[in-house]
Amino acid sequence: MAETPTIEYLEFLRDAISSDGAVDILEVGGGPQTFVHHPDARHTVLEFEEDTLATCNYADRKMIGDAQTFDFGSIKFDVVVFWNVLEHIPDPSLALSNVMATVREGGLVIIRGPSLKALKAIITRLTPHRFHVAFYKHILGHKNAGRAGHAPYVLSHFPKANADELDRFLGMAGFEKIFGQQYDGDQVTLLKEYSHALFQGYRIASRLGIVGIHREWMTAAAR
């Protein structure tokens, strides 16, 4: 599960992307749905895994490759999206540098990711993958959890993929931050619905560990 977009993000997106003419959108990392809807969108997905790329039925163009090194040639985009992706890439700044070169003047870079210091992220790193699959299946209700092309994916959290560092990098690259948000993720909300006792235990453990409740973050910058 890739997290439900917030109302604030959807309102920002509606105002930030022109409704006049086609919009070329690159999504780095694929999945069964897009998080940048536009009536005249032309979606390109760059994905490292063929099984995951096969689930991107909304994509007009599909490409296999590593965002850190992929050669886009002369292709340009109006919007570039990293949705739950950069924390899985060994060098997020290298991936950003490579992909940002494809953004047209006035274009957007949208990044969404988890807080790697939150208790949920810590638990995720300390538990085996089969535990994550069971959580997605039995608590979140995702029957395809763990199958090829479906979350949860094998974990790899790289510490450079944090909001402050990526914001600084975007600024140094000449992009202006125009939207930012932190919010509680779907997993925590659904845990509360599944078991109030488990949710309260999670909150207490989070406070005792002096780490945050599972916070997601989102940022967008314009060229």
Residue 111 has pLDDT above 90, yes or no: yes
- Given this model, what pLDDT does residue 211 score? 46
Tell me: cis bond preceding 92? Omega within 30 of 0 counts. Answer: no
Strand-pair partners of 195: none
- Given this model, what pLDDT does residue 210 score? 44
Residue range 139-154, pLDDT digits in tens: 667 777 777 666 666 6
| Phi and psi torsions of 31, nearest 5° | 170, 180
**Distance linking the first and last C-alpha atoms of the chain:** 30
Residue range 32-57, pLDDT digits in tens: 889 898 989 999 999 988 888 998 99
Which is it for the CA torsion 167, 169, 31, 158, positive or negative? Answer: negative
Residue 6 has pLDDT above 60, yes or no: yes
Average pLDDT over residues 148-169: 73
In the numeric block, which tokens belong to residue 56?
């991107």
Which is it for the CA torsion 26, 29, 33, 35, positive or negative? Answer: negative
Average pLDDT over residues 98-112: 95
CA distance 54 to 198: 36
Residue range 203-221, pLDDT digits in tens: 666 665 544 445 688 899 9
What percentage of the chain has pLDDT greater than the value 70?
Answer: 77
Residue range 67-104, pLDDT digits in tens: 999 999 999 999 999 998 998 888 899 999 999 999 99
* 194 vs 211 pLDDT, higher one: 194
CA distance 86 to 118: 17
| 3-state percent breakdown (helix, strand, coil) of the chain, nearest 5 | 35, 25, 40
What percentage of the chain has pLDDT greater than the value 90?
Answer: 43
| Least confident span in 21-25, 76-80, 163-167, 169-173 | 163-167
Question: 3-state DSSP call for residue 186?
Answer: helix
- 139 within 8 A of 191, measured Cβ to Cβ: yes
Average pLDDT over residues 148-163: 67
Instruction: Kindly state the DSSP code that residue 33 receives in the 8-state scheme.
Output: S
Mean pLDDT (the chain) is 83
Q: Which amino acid is at 119?
A: L
Number of Cβ within 10 Å of residue 147's Cβ equals 12
Instruction: Kindly state the DSSP code that residue 136 receives in the 8-state scheme.
Output: H
Nearest to 57 by CA among 70, 69, 47: 47
